[in-house]
Amino acid sequence: MKKRYLSLIIGVALLCIMTHPTGAQAYSKLGTYLKISEAKSFKTFINPTAKAHKSIILNGAKSWNVSPYLNTLSIGTDTYPQFIVSSSNVDKGNTVAVCTPWVYNGTMIVAKNEVTTYKAFNSLSTSNKTETITHEYGHGFGLGHVKSKSAIMLDVGFIGKTVPQADDLNGIKAIYQGLK
């Protein structure tokens, strides 16, 4: 009888542990990130192919300015922008955009990120386009995908927000707070 009760107590305890939310954040690190000086004043170049989405791109980029570690400084033809945004008419199915980092020094991006939107991007609402750009910039800053529907870095689909959420900003803090 004692074994039964002990097994029951252990089972209930394990169930409580597994279902109780922890203080863990939903963000995940991608493993690459910008130098802290570049993150504080990142530059974006919008390729002529993406000019039609200029305001959406800028809104997505500037949405990260709420973090004390990131700040959009300029847009234009800067020689060394941290982000280059282009549009492609290639049909990639459900893939609407990607961010491809150029890594030159270990895990630190010392050059740039290329954000490319694909054909399906054009059919999205303005809100979903902005969320997509914000998400892709998150990759450029070092964030990976998450399963949490309360983070802009959600792996599939949309959360209905155009700005980074608490978990996204905690991820940025975890990456950039300790950098010099």
Residue 65 forms part of a structural domain: yes
pLDDT at 17: 38
Average pLDDT over residues 9-24: 42
For 71-91, what is the mean pLDDT?
80
Q: Is 150 a domain residue?
A: yes
Structure confidence at residue 134 (pLDDT): 96
Specify if 3 maps to a domain. no
Residue 7 lies in a domain: no
Strand pairing category for 97-101 and 113-117: antiparallel
Mean pLDDT of 45-73: 91
**Could you tell me the CATH number of the domain that includes residue 83?**
3.40.390.10
pTM here is 0.80
Region at 93 (left for phi over 0; alpha for psi -120 to 50; beta for the rest): left
* Number of domains the chain is built from: 1
Does a structural domain hold residue 144? yes
Percent of the chain scored above 70 by pLDDT? 72
pLDDT at 27: 62
Task: Report the candidate in 160, 151, 83, 144 with the shortest Cα–Cα distance to residue 117.
Answer: 83
Q: Determine, yes or no, domain membership for 60.
A: yes
SS3 state at 64: helix
Residue 152: give the domain boundaries. Answer: 28-177
Asked if residue 15 belongs to a domain, the reply is no
Answer whether residue 172 shows pLDDT above 80. yes
